[in-house]
Amino acid sequence: MKKISVIGAGNVGATAAQRLAGKQLAEEVVLIDIIEGVPQGKGLDIWESSPVELFDTKVTGTNDYKDTANSELIIITAGLARKPGMSRDDLLAANAKIVKDVTEKAAEYSPQSILIVVSNPLDVMSYVALKVSGFEKNRVIGMAGILDTARFRLFIAEALNVSVSDINAMVLGGHGDSMVPLIRYSTVSGIPISELLPKKKIDELVLRARNGGIEIVNYLKTGSAYYAPSSAAVEMADAIVKNRKRILPCAAWLEGEYGLDGVFCGVPVKLGSKGIEQIIELKLTDEEMAALKKSADEVAVNIKKLKL
């Protein structure tokens, strides 16, 4: 891939740019922000690490969207971060305005690109990007499930004192308090976690995964998570750039799948060079389906609050 652009040179964006360059997923990574000097300084700093880290990807910082022209992949991280006491939904109006603005500019210069949305509230911002860009639904993807699943996998590994490499899990639904970890699909080297942990402990891990973001916000006080979110976004980029056909939980625009229509919601998808190449429909239990619908309904309520 020739060019990947990252919109927003804050902690998530800059760390994503660093990981993209380090993995050499493009010939050039462009880091763009409205604040003069910040993307230029961070971009140059990342690029100057290349002789030590041994990557040949060029890293460019800019305030001008012309420099993002003909990007094949764009990661949108722009927006305000949460503070203690704030929910993701509290960011709704302010970040909708920011994401609308950056998507319009990005889509103008890179009309064939694929968009990965990281800004919160994630599912609603993905909707904003879809509507404003006018792109096909397979080219606008929200990063949520990979991050939620990573947190859940870590907590399972910690509880069992085993390697994270052996943990598989799946978290569906909106990126928030109503996310739906699927216990039946959570395994350690193929062994269901229900065979290894008591229900009470599993319930505790589910709750901690749901509160994974706010736990970090409460520690940091003046910011939110960025190492794990940037890793999750770059895992999606890797699947797209290398056409890996990975099955990953991502926020996708649903039109009847899982009985849900006209809403972004986290579901398993096949990610390849065209973006979302397939939405995988699992057979859910009544309880799981009810939880997924509740989660999607919360996203739908927030979408209706927007004035696009």
In the residue annotation, 175 being an active-site residue is answered as yes
In contact, 19 and 49? CB cutoff 8 Å: no
How many Å apart are CA 161 and CA 196, to the nearest integer?
A: 11
| Cα–Cα distances in angstroms (integers) from residue 159 to residues 33, 181, 182, in the given order | 40, 16, 17
- What 3 state SS string does 13-59 have? HHHHHHHHHHCCCCCEEEEECCCCCHHHHHHHHHHHCHHHHCCCCEE
Q: In the structure encoding, which two tokens stand for residue 289, read together?
A: 């389906």
How many Å apart are CA 131 and CA 76, to the nearest integer?
A: 15
In contact, 5 and 106? CB cutoff 8 Å: yes
In contact, 181 and 212? CB cutoff 8 Å: no
Q: Which residue is catalytic, options 88, 151, 175, 293?
A: 175
Residues annotated as catalytic (active site), given as ranges = 175
